[in-house]
Structure 1
């Protein structure tokens, strides 16, 4: 159980490292060069980054909980 929690922590940390702090992505899909125009691809990319960042945080929390539970089993 402890090993599973550790693996989940590693996966979560890697996910947050990759997707947690995205490079200049407009959350609304705005392009930086053109004013008042939305880019659907940029908005989809921001959604994907947000999703994987949440998954990473969830994996970290679940991994730590599994490690904590394994101390009492």
Structure 2
């Protein structure tokens, strides 16, 4: 969870610095718009993380089932 928060914060800072360098600091882009973009990014990251976890928890082959069983039994 913390790594996702770090990614969101880094992406937010990157986008803000790009906007500042472009001179758009207060012209045409509001803080609410930037915050909205960051929240959309966070939602997409959470969705992707859930999909990856879902994929990892549901092995599709016999080898995957065996590997999962041996990993979680230890």
Q: Please report the TM-score for the alignment, with normalisation by the length of structure 1.
A: 0.46
Question: Which protein has the larger Cα radius of gyration, Structure 1 or Structure 2?
Answer: 2
Bigger RCO (CA 8 Å, 6+ sep): 1
Structure with the higher fraction of residues in helix conformation: 2
